[in-house]
A and B are shown apart, each in its own frame.
Chain A
Amino acid sequence: MSKNWPLWEIFVRSKNGLEHRHFGSLHAADAEMALENARDVYTRRNEGVSIWVVESKNITASNPAENGEMFEPAQDKVYRHPTFYDLPDEVKHM
């Protein structure tokens, strides 16, 4: 065998108004075939109205081992949340 079909990540929008969501992956020779295969593998029961395919090698992912440096800086910034601010009860909904 000369060369294996590359791996593609599949994103499906289940209906208009919702975002594309990662559904899984599959192998295909090119993007067009990845779309066709994605339709058969991931939307056999009307699960989608739009499909994105991205070759897996083009995705850059963060490393969970570095989650500390990556995400902890947001943890001590409580002032980004509405509940941080004290308002009198008379102000009903704000």
Chain B
Amino acid sequence: MSEKEVKNLEEIFEARIARDEKIEPKDWMPEKYRKTHIRQISQHAHSEIIGMLPEGNWITRAPSLRRKAALLAKVQDEAGHGLYLYSACETLGVSRDELYDQLHSGKAKYSSIFNYPTITWADIGAIGWLVDGAAIINQVPLCNTSFGPYARAMVRVCKEESFHQRQGYEIMLTLCRGTQEQKAMAQDALNRWWWPSLMMLGPTDAESVHTEQSMKWKLKRKSNDDLRQQFIDQTVPQADILGLTIPDPDLKWNEETGHYDFGEIDWEEFWQVVKGHGPCNKERMSARVNAWNNGEWVRDAAMAYAEKKEANKLKEAI
């Protein structure tokens, strides 16, 4: 195809997206669209998969059967979300194996929030309330993104996500209405998860390199800073109901803007964690890689069994 023809196709393509038409896997698309989507959707999938690890840590120690059943269901949902997203990503012509390879080799990133440890039960509450809360804010606009399989996966994810946040908030509420020690535990979890949750919504607009292109393709409908503000505005009153204090001395309601003002985010910490120097980066990667490697004989055995069964069927037919 000549350069001019590609340019023409690109214009038609951009116009389709501008008209809110969806792009489906077999449609022509610019190489950059394909690559950007593979990167974003796979990162999203990896985050769901790695996201199971901090919470999985508490399944055996959940304080009641009710909490255990809920946490187990939530972690199973994260696995499901990872699978919806991997399958959406594979429609772009990348194999599951390549995607896993990128994760295991460290070439692909996942959300840096999962590199923090879950040291008390209250962390499970804080993750549901804050981390899933921030994830919902990030994900809801993606239900309308331009790539059909991604948008459809996100609709399913968003439907399931609201239980995650509510179960987390309920854990926090129970702790806050409990003993002094329990309330202190909830406050401690909020103190540790607040800032990483704000970072989860991404670098500031000034630092965000992909924003303009992503807006055009509807991979992004609001800027990182707008999403962050939305998260803060909605979360502060929820903390008030719990009777907890947000660990930010500069946080205050601004009558004029109709939003909360908040303090400086430590972006140095964010970039350190992204680069692999967070508290749990190594632990998460090794847990994931070990799970994959140690499961290899099971996958091979299942495949060998399937092939044997198929061969027997053929023999009987003859």
Contact = CB atoms under 8 A, between A and B. Distances in A.
A13 interface: no
Nearest to A62: B26
A25 B299 contact: no
Interface residues of A, number: 22
Contact of A61 (B26, B152, B300, B304): B26
Interface string A1-27: 111110100000000000000001111
Contact of A29 (B28, B76, B80, B306): B306
B87 A44 contact: no
Interface string B144-161: 000001001100000010
A51 B296 CA distance: 28
A65 to B, nearest CB: 6
B153 A24 contact: yes
B296 A1 contact: yes
**Size class of the B contact interface (CB-based, 8 Å):** 20 to 34
A1 B293 CA distance: 10
Interface in A32-57: 33, 40-42, 44-45
Contacts of A75: none
A57 to B, nearest CB: 13
A7 B90 contact: yes
A40 B80 contact: yes
Contacts of B302: 5, 29-30, 33
A56 B192 CA distance: 45
A41 B88 contact: no
Given A3-B303, A5-B302, A26 B83 contact: yes
A25 B280 CA distance: 32
Contacts of A4: 95-97, 303
Interface in B273-311: 296, 299-300, 302-306, 309-310
A50 B310 CA distance: 24
B84 interface: yes
User: Closest 3 A-B residue pairs measured CB to CB?
Assistant: A30-B306, A29-B302, A29-B306
6 contacts: A3-B300, A3-B303, A4-B96, A5-B299, A25-B90, A44-B160
